[in-house]
Amino acid sequence: MQIIYEDNDIAAVNKPAGVDFDWALKERQDFFVVHRLDKDTSGIILFAKNEDAQDYLRELFKSRQIKKSYLVLVVGKVKNSSGKIELSIGRSKKTPLKRVAIGEKRGKIREAVTEYKVLKKFEDYTFLEAFPKTGRTHQIRSHFAAIGHPVACDKLYSGKRYYCPGGISRQFLHAYSIEFKTQPPFDPLLAKEGKGAVLRLEAALPPELEKVLQEIKENDKNDKS
């Protein structure tokens, strides 16, 4: 298990793809769950190490005081260099596992906002950084599928636009950075008053995803030559 940061109250772990969000609890029984990542999404995940810290971090997530970013490869060329997707998300009527931004929904419909900036455009894909302003289940996957640019290798949301470069067996989605105020003892009022230090943590793109980007780059170069 790769620890990115740890102190007496919190820990940040670089989660590999292919494991559930709570895999770390088997190794570290002092960890308390704060939030989740999809099984096939890699990257930074936070854990608390006591109940006060757990309550504090959950309040920060609830009040949207935690800034997160993801590195994503999506299918097709995204037109604009940056943008915002504002589409509410609900459970799909047809496929209960899916949370959809378009089509028939059931259950509670929740507002969802994702901002993004393009990092690199390829011939058939776009590499970008996504900033979810809300924390809905499958938000990034659902939002980009809704605008016609599903996450590469995403079997659940891609439909007829399923493309998977590099032969990887997971969606190209990585929790890259997380930023928040930390102020032991964990008191939400102190954070709201602007007190405390800002902690920013990053997890580099995994080698298998870096390899995919390099292969796409090489293929584009060969196609043009």
> Which residues carry out catalysis?
38
* Integer Rg of the chain from CA: 18
**Judging by beta carbons within 10 Å of its beta carbon (0-12, 13-18, 19+), is residue 131 exposed, middle or buried?**
middle
Q: What is the layout of strands, in order, in the sheet containing 99-100? A: 99-100, 89-92, 105-110
Q: What is the rounded (10 degree) CA torsion for 3, 6, 11, 14?
A: -20
H or E stretch covering 219: helix 207-224
Task: Please spell the DSSP secondary structure of 187-208, one letter per residue.
Answer: -HHHHHTT-SEEEEEE-PPPHH
**Judging by beta carbons within 10 Å of its beta carbon (0-12, 13-18, 19+), is residue 222 exposed, middle or buried?**
exposed
